[in-house]
Structure formats: C-alpha cells, structure tokens
Amino acid sequence: MNFYPLKLSYHIRNYYFGEELILDYKNNLPKGRIAETWEISDYKDTTAKILNGKFAGKTLHELIESYPSEIVANSWAGPHFPILAKFLDASHMLPVHLHADDITAKEKYNEPNGKTEAWYILWAAENASILVGIKDGFSRDELFKAFKNQDYDKLMYRFPIKTGDTVYVPSGILHSFGPDTLIYEVQQTSDLGSDVMPTDIFGKKRTEEEWDRQINKTLDELKSNFLPKPNTGLIIKEETGQKKICCASEYFALEHWQFTSNKTITDFNKFMNISNLGKPIEIKYQKQTESLNKGESCIIPAAISEFTIKPQGKADLLISYLPNLEADIITPLKKAGFTKDEIASLGEL
C-alpha cells in the first residue's frame, strides 16, 4: 500500500466569540461569523474527509480504523486520530471554561480522553491578554460567588500575550482569552468542556438554575496544579532557517518551522501534521508531489519514511505530532544549549 500526504476537509463552528479573523489565513470561507475551523479532526461527526488521492471521499476515521500503524505510528492503537488542530477567532472574549481530564472523561462522560490544549498566537492586538488558573486562598463558596459576579480578575491570573507566543493549558485548568486574538490550537481529540458563564457558547442566556449548575460542574472538575504562562518558544537554528519548539507533553508537540531551502525529513516513524501559514509549499515523496497552499493542512502518514518540503520563497509552517519526549524534544534542545528549566517551561515534560 502506497501512502501519501492526506489533505483534509475542515469543520466550521459558529460560536459567539468569532468574527472574520480566520480570513487572514483561509480563503473562500462562507460569509458570517466563524469562530473555529477544525483543520485536522477525527472527533465524532466532525471527522475530516480525505480530499486527495485514492482515499478521497473516505473519512480520516475510516483510515485510522483500517491503517492505524501506517497513519499514526507503528504498533499504535486508539479510538481516533490523537490530535485535533484548529484556527480559532477570539474577536470577542471566550467563555471562562475548562476541559475534563482523562480520568474524568472516562468515568463521568464515557469518553476515551479529556482535553489538554495549547495555543499558538497568530495575531494579538496590542493590549491582548489571557486569563488562566485560580489564585490561592479562595473557598469553593467564594469562587462560586465571584463567578456569579463575573469578577474573573479577582480569582484568575491575567498575562499579556503577543504574536508568536504559545500557551500550554492542561486539562482541568480554568482559562479564557480575547478579545482581538487569533490562535492556532492543538489539543487532544475531545470536545468536552464546562464554563462559568451566564450565557452558553452561542450567546444564549441561561436560566439561574442552568448557570448555577454549570458553575458547580466546572468547580467539580477544577484543578490548580499548573499555571499556564505565555512562552516565546525555544529556537534551534538550522542551515536553511529555524525550528521553534513551542510546547511539548505526552499528548502532542507543536513546532513553528521557517526556512527558505528544501528541507528533507527522514525516519520520523510517526505522523506529522502540517498547517501552512504562508506561501505555497510542495511536498515531494516517493517520486510524487503534493502542494499545500496557505491555510491548508495535511497529515504525513507514518508509513512515509522520507519526504522533502520545497518552499516557494520562505516556508512558514506549524507542525504537530506525538513526540518521543526524550528523543524529539529534550535531547535536541539540550544539544542546542538550553537549560533544564527552559525546556521544562514548554509544557509537561
């Protein structure tokens, strides 16, 4: 079986916080509010369809079921493709919310996993910020009352963000960002979430009973063992450009690649997600070529042992995958001269 780069359809979510920022990266979007485009997804009815090659028309989920080792990694097994990637428009402030962890997902929601995520800031206005975590010293009753008063800054940490930052957010950690922010998000394949807001994700007002129930649900799942902070990433210089490692954990790694000459990848031995932020590129593999335009994403299956990315000018790519933390992250960064603390700042290593 000959495998090839898989170009995918995308799924749109029209939540209240979106507007038209994603148009900076994707053409031909439908008119109206667009909060999210799910670029790589195998979550339930949002699973992408393959757009190119002999698998065109099949879903990503069908391929995962048929060829798990060839698509994801040798000896890998799972209910779905492990990473979900999206563009997210926070023209308006997102709800203050969190996502269930793996244990809660299994025991409470009968889902295979929870949702740890990371945000790569594609654009942020001058005064943009994030709200994350919970400050020490508040009882559950005090948290509940503050959420009812919508006094989030009393309870949460606020940090400024800028274009090029990354924020790693584990499951169970309360968070929000916006307005005037555009991000690229990588996450576990999940859509579990709960929030503390008086309206739902579509802006519809909740009854007091519904609102109270949502706050209590969120407090039940709240964790405070990690404080997300914006980081600028760790850059490894290469002959033709640079690779910035943005974040890493057992769930995913996210990297930002920029280079001007052909870049060949060999013996990666697992899938690689590529999302193109800039000029078109060509992916050369097995004497064949696939193109990837700005705003498009693809999956390089694990079965492709060697491929070359040929940029038209300067390549500007976001790369995500399931890392071997020691081999893919820690060792290269140590070799590049980064300290243990600098490497640890990237996420959960």
In the chain, where the domains are located = 6-221, 234-344
Q: What DSSP string runs through 37-78?
A: EEEE--SGGGPPBB-SSTTTTSBHHHHHHH-HHHHTBTT---
Is the Cβ–Cβ distance between 162 and 124 less than 8 Å? yes
Q: What is the pLDDT of residues 116-167, one digit of tens each?
A: 999 999 999 999 999 999 999 999 999 999 999 999 999 999 999 999 999 9
247 falls in which pLDDT band (50, 70, 90)?
Answer: very high
- Helical H segments across the chain, by residue range: 60-66, 68-71, 102-109, 140-148, 152-155, 208-221, 331-335, 340-344
Is the Cβ–Cβ distance between 132 and 227 less than 8 Å? yes
pLDDT at 240: 87
Is the Cβ–Cβ distance between 167 and 158 less than 8 Å? no
Q: What is the pLDDT of residues 23-43, one digit of tens each?
A: 999 988 999 999 999 999 999
Determine which of 4-13, 22-31, 144-153, 169-178 has the lowest per-residue pLDDT on average: 22-31
Q: Identify which of 55, 20, 60 has the alpha carbon closest to the alpha carbon of residue 36.
A: 20
**Mean pLDDT, residues 78-90 taken together:** 97
* pLDDT higher than 90, residue 179: yes
3-class DSSP assignment, residue 247: strand
d(CA 114, CA 11): 20
* pLDDT higher than 90, residue 201: yes
- For the chain, what percent of residues have pLDDT higher than 70? 100
> What does residue 327 show for φ and ψ, rounded to 5 degrees?
-75, -40
In 137-158, which positions are buried (b, 16+ CB within 10 angstroms) versus exposed (e)? eeeeeebbebbeeeebeebbbe
* pLDDT higher than 90, residue 234: yes
Q: What is the pLDDT of residues 263-279, one digit of tens each?
A: 999 999 999 999 999 99
Is the Cβ–Cβ distance between 255 and 166 less than 8 Å? no
- At the fourth CATH level, the homologous superfamily of domain 234-344 is Jelly Rolls (2.60.120.10)
CA distances 257 to 165, 189, 261, 266, Å, are 14, 23, 12, 16
d(CA 155, CA 164): 27
How wide is the angle at C-alpha 118 spanned by C-alphas 292 and 321, nearest 5°? 50
Q: Do domains 6-221 and 234-344 have the same CATH topology?
A: yes
Partnered with residue 315 across adjacent β-strands are 259
Domain range 6-221, CATH class: mainly beta
d(CA 252, CA 322): 5
- Say what the pTM is: 0.97
Is the Cβ–Cβ distance between 175 and 98 less than 8 Å? yes
- CA torsion angle for 76, 46, 110, 210 (degrees, to 10)? 150
Q: What is the pLDDT of residues 183-192, one digit of tens each?
A: 999 999 999 9
Q: Is 64 exposed, middle or buried (CB count within 10 Å of its CB: 0-12, 13-18, 19+)?
A: buried
Q: What is the overall mean pLDDT for the chain?
A: 97
- What sign does the CA torsion over 128, 99, 119, 203 have? negative
End-to-end CA, the chain: 36
